[in-house]
Amino acid sequence: MREGAIVSDTKGLIIVHTGNGKGKTTAALGMALRAWGQGLRVLIVQFIKGNWKYGELKAAEALGPNFVIRQMGEGFVKDAKGEAAADHQSAANEAFEMAKAEIISGNWNLIILDEINYAVKFGLVSVEDVIALLDQKPEQMHVVLTGRDARDEIIEKADLVTEMREIKHPYKKGIKAQKGIEF
């Protein structure tokens, strides 16, 4: 563990953002910025490629080595078959092993496993492996798991769970995705 990376009075939280609404990844990004502003070291591991936003990648570049985003997954998996499905599985395995190594390393104060709930939902990562990983995390490290349909076992394990619920969505009004807001 890097010396001084983690303050001694910290109780690391397990946090889940789930639900069908906007704001799961975005709220994790806001937490990342707040933590970074406090001088903490933040890693974001992205399990689904399609969820990456250009704005946050540019921001991460500007914020330097204490704010790192790693793009690991393939695109959305829902309809993948055959070779495409195998690619998704291999990308998810790689993402999970990388996340595991980083969590165990203790080099970060906050690690965001973005869309890991989605990877679990589609059978790319087992819920047992996620729970076992959370059991191994350093006591003072915060871990955020995002994605809709979080499994009960993960909710049970978490300290803080928020459901983002869609009340109204602009696509349904025929408004296109907006630069700086949606991407």
- The least CB distance from residue 94 to its own copies, in Å, is 26
Query: In the complex with its own copies, which residue's Cβ is closer, 7 or 132?
Result: 7
Pairwise CA distance, residues 58 & 76, whole Å? 22
Q: How far is C-alpha 13 from the geometric centre of its chain's CA atoms?
A: 14
Of the candidates 177, 148, 150, the one whose C-alpha atom is nearest the C-alpha of residue 23 is 148
Q: How far is the CB of 98 from its own copies (least distance, A)?
A: 23
DSSP state of 173: G
Closest approach, Cβ 133 to its own copies, in A, equals 19
> Which residues bind to its own copies, rule: CB under 8 A?
7, 9-13, 15-19, 21-23, 25-40, 53-60, 62-63, 109-110, 142, 155, 158-170, 173, 175-176, 178-181, 183
Q: Of the two residues 105 and 140, which places its CB atom closer to its own copies in the complex?
A: 140
CA-atom Rg of the chain in angstroms: 16
- Which of residues 80 and 151 has its CB atom nearest to its own copies in the complex? 151
- Per the DSSP assignment, residues forming a β-bridge with 113 are 45, 145
